[in-house]
Chains A and B, each alone.
Chain A
Amino acid sequence: MSEDARKAIAGDDEAFLRLMQAYKVDLYKTAIAYLRNQDDAIEALQEVTYRAYKNIRMVKEATYIKTWLIRIMINYCNDQLKRNKQIVINDEIIVTHGIFENYTEMELRDAMQDLDERSREILMMKYFHDLKIKEIALVLECPEGTVKTWLNKALKELRKRIDGSGEGWTNHV
Chain B
Amino acid sequence: MYEREEGRLIEYKKSIDNISVPETALNTAILTGFQKAKHEESKKRQSKKWMFMAAMIAVLLISFITSIRVSPVFASYIANIPGMEEIVELIRHDKGMVAAIESDYYEALGVSKQKNGMEVVIDGVIADEQGIVLFYTINTEEKKRSVTINQAEIRNQDGTELEIPTSSSYNPEINEAEFANSFHGLIEYFFQYPSNTTKFILHLEVGGETFELPFILTKDREENKTYVLNETVTVEGQEITFLDVTIAPLRVGIHVKMNPDNTKKILSFDELQLIDEQGEVWSRLENGVTSSSIADDEWMLYLQSNYFKDPEELNLVLGKIQTVDKEESMVIVDVENEVILNQPKRNLFTGVVREGDYLVFKYNEEFPYSFFSQSYDADGNILYSDSSFSTASEGRGTNEFGYHIEHILGQKSPISLIIDFFPEWIIGNEKIKIK
Name A's B-contacting residues (CB within 8 A).
Answer: 6-7, 9-11, 13, 16-17, 20-21, 24-25, 28-29, 32-33, 38, 42-43, 45-51, 53-54, 57, 62, 75, 79, 82-83, 99-100, 102, 104-105, 108-109, 123, 127-128, 152, 155-156, 158-159, 162
Contact = CB atoms under 8 A, between A and B. Distances in A.
Given A9-B208, A42-B29, A45-B29, A158 B34 contact: no
A123 B34 contact: no
A-B complex: 8 closest residue pairs judged by Cβ atoms: A49-B33, A10-B207, A53-B37, A155-B2, A46-B29, A50-B33, A127-B9, A46-B33
Contacts of A10: 147-148, 206-208
A105 B12 contact: yes
Contacts of A38: 22
Interface in B346-374: 356-357
30 contacts: A6-B208, A10-B147, A11-B146, A11-B147, A13-B34, A17-B30, A17-B34, A24-B27, A24-B30, A28-B21, A29-B19, A33-B12, A42-B26, A47-B356, A48-B33, A49-B30, A53-B38, A62-B208, A79-B410, A82-B410, A83-B409, A105-B12, A105-B15, A109-B12, A123-B9, A127-B6, A128-B16, A155-B1, A155-B5, A162-B5
Interface of B: 1-2, 4-6, 8-13, 15-17, 19, 21-22, 25-27, 29-30, 32-34, 36-38, 40, 146-148, 150, 206-208, 356-357, 407, 409-410
What DSSP secondary structure best describes chain A's contact surface? Answer: helix
A20 B150 CA distance: 22
Contacts of A57: 148, 150
B142 to A, nearest CB: 10
Given A13-B34, A20-B34, 7 more contacts: A6-B208, A17-B30, A33-B12, A42-B22, A53-B33, A75-B407, A152-B1
Contact of B34 (A11, A53, A75): A53
Contacts of B17: 29
A43 B29 contact: yes
Given A11-B207, A42-B25, A79 B15 contact: no
Nearest to B336: A83
Contact of B12 (A49, A54, A108, A152): A108
Contact of B356 (A43, A51, A75, A99): A51
A9 B207 CA distance: 7
Contact of A46 (B5, B30, B206): B30
Contacts, number: 120
Among A10, A32, A99, chain B packs the most CB atoms within 10 A around the CB of: A10
A108 B12 CA distance: 8
Nearest to A130: B13
Nearest to A38: B22
Contact of B19 (A6, A9, A46, A99): A99
B112 to A, nearest CB: 20
B21 A25 contact: yes
A111 B148 CA distance: 45
A43 B356 CA distance: 12
A11 B199 CA distance: 33
A47 to B, nearest CB: 6
Nearest to A126: B9
Given A11-B146, A21-B30, A127 B13 contact: yes
Nearest to A159: B5
A82 B26 CA distance: 24
Contact of B33 (A9, A47, A123): A47
A108 to B, nearest CB: 5
B36 A50 contact: yes
B8 A45 contact: no
A90 to B, nearest CB: 23
A162 to B, nearest CB: 7
Contacts of A46: 29-30, 32-33, 36
A8 to B, nearest CB: 10
Contacts of B147: 10-11
A158 B3 CA distance: 12
A147 to B, nearest CB: 15
Contacts of B13: 127-128
B16 A20 contact: no
Nearest to A129: B13
A127 B15 CA distance: 13
